[in-house]
Amino acid sequence: MSRWALWTFLVAPVVAMPHFDINLDLPPRQRWLEVTKYYRQEILTMMDTWEAMLQATLQPAEKADWLRYGTDNSEEYQEELLGIYEGLGTNLSFSLDTLNLFNILYEMGSPTLTQACSGLLAADVNGKVIHGRNMDYQFLFKMPDETIKDWPDVTFEAYFWKGGRRIFMGIQWPIYIGVHTAMRFNGWSFEQNTRLGMNDPQLNLESAKGGGKPYGFLVRKLMETTPDFETALSKINATSFLAPQYFILAGAKPFEGAVISMDRFSAQNLSATPPVRRFSDSAGPWFLLQTNDDANKFPLDHRRPMTATILAMHGQQDVSINFVWDWRRNRRWNLWQLWK
């Protein structure tokens, strides 16, 4: 039996998520109609909120530049978004441009918090790598009934099919058609993390004008077409992305796991950027932790040193799915509670 990798998506509180099948053999405009119908009211409110944010922060010329240089202009991408937009009905208070810009939410500078997501790769004694991640920032929007909703209220599992076969699954939000958290079956898993202190939207826009790419849809296409960890790692590390960020990957073979610190234009473009960190068979560390700061620099918050201290109290023989799950769920692993 081949080794396998598992990721878990953790939110608080932990709730059952809806799941949808995305058939890549359908015309692009039809692929997200079920999701759009299910979340229609939430989408309308989210986009009203997002449009208000755009109007408050962007000048018309800057918005035009983001649309021209920063978004994915491939026909498939644009057709999928158009299908979602048409599926919402008529007389909408926002344009298709609003959906386009929502798909580069990260590249435009979100989140702006002092803490964001974190990821953990842990290898057991046989080399099986377990991938855990959490999502630690907000996108609050007020529904017509005055209730306040956030990411957990619109988070769902998407199973992507092609040729009658499930290719990969992603943890998705409505409207966002790229991937930030995904796993190709019998292949590799992926997580994107914020690189705090470096994700300057103005510099990102200049990077886009120079040919830098947004990550979400590009990585989704890799999920569709790239079957193994090593090839995915090589392709991602060789891609020119428009924003600095972290990518965490795990694979199906023993000790396949890596953390990429991505600079604008190319990986490890800056001399102070950490090199790719990865497992190396039975030698070296048994876990790789990535919060929102560079691993070779002084931590920006308590999470990295405190988690490393707690993990150091354990050994590789302790690694299991439950072990990684407890990293986020249980109070003894809840570092924010410990810090308070």
Rounded to whole angstroms, how far apart are CA atoms 45 and 39?
10
With a cut of 90, say whether residue 136 has pLDDT above it. Answer: no
How far is Cα 304 from Cα 268, in angstroms, rounded to an integer? 21
How far apart, in whole angstroms, are the C-alpha atoms of residue 143 and residue 201?
28
Lowest-confidence segment of 194-198, 249-253, 335-339 by average pLDDT? 335-339
Give residue 91's pLDDT. 94
| Most confidently predicted of 83-92, 135-144, 276-285 | 83-92
pLDDT, position 328: 67
Give which of 158, 32, 139, 47 is closest to 99, Cα–Cα: 47
Residue 214 pLDDT exceeds 70: yes
pLDDT of residue 15: 56
Task: Evaluate if residue 217 carries a pLDDT over 70.
Answer: yes
DSSP calls for 36-78: HHHTHHHHHHHHHHHHHHHHHH--HHHHHHIIIIIS---HHHH
pLDDT at residue 315 tops 60: yes
């199906």: which residue's tokens?
252
312 pLDDT band (50/70/90 cuts)? confident
What pTM was computed for the model?
0.90
**CA–CA dist 149, 118 (Å, integer):** 22
Per residue in 55-65, pLDDT (tens digit) is 999 999 999 99
What span, in angstroms and rounded, lies between the C-alpha atoms of 149 and 154? 8
pLDDT at 137 over 80: no
Question: Which pLDDT does position 10 carry in this prediction?
Answer: 36
Going by the DSSP 8-state scheme, the letter that residue 118 receives in this structure is E
Q: Is the pLDDT of residue 19 over 60?
A: yes
Report the pLDDT averaged over residues 159-181: 97
Return the axis-axis angle of helices 229-237 and 216-225, rounded to nearest 10°: 150
**Which position has the token pair 């876990």?**
287
Give the model's pLDDT for residue 115: 64
Average pLDDT of span 201-208: 96
pLDDT digits (tens, 9 = 90+) for 257-302: 999 999 998 888 889 999 999 998 767 789 999 988 888 999 888 8
Q: Which domains does the chain have, with CATH numbers?
A: 6-17+115-339 (3.60.60), 26-102 (no CATH)
Three-class DSSP category at 258:
strand
Q: Which amino acid is at 334?
A: N
- Whole-Å CA distances, 151 to 102, 141, 155, 176, 186: 14, 9, 6, 12, 28
Could you tell me where the beta strands, DSSP code E, fall in the chain?
6-10, 19-23, 118-123, 129-134, 141-142, 148-149, 156-162, 165-172, 181-184, 188-194, 245-251, 257-262, 277-278, 287-290
Mean pLDDT across the chain? 89
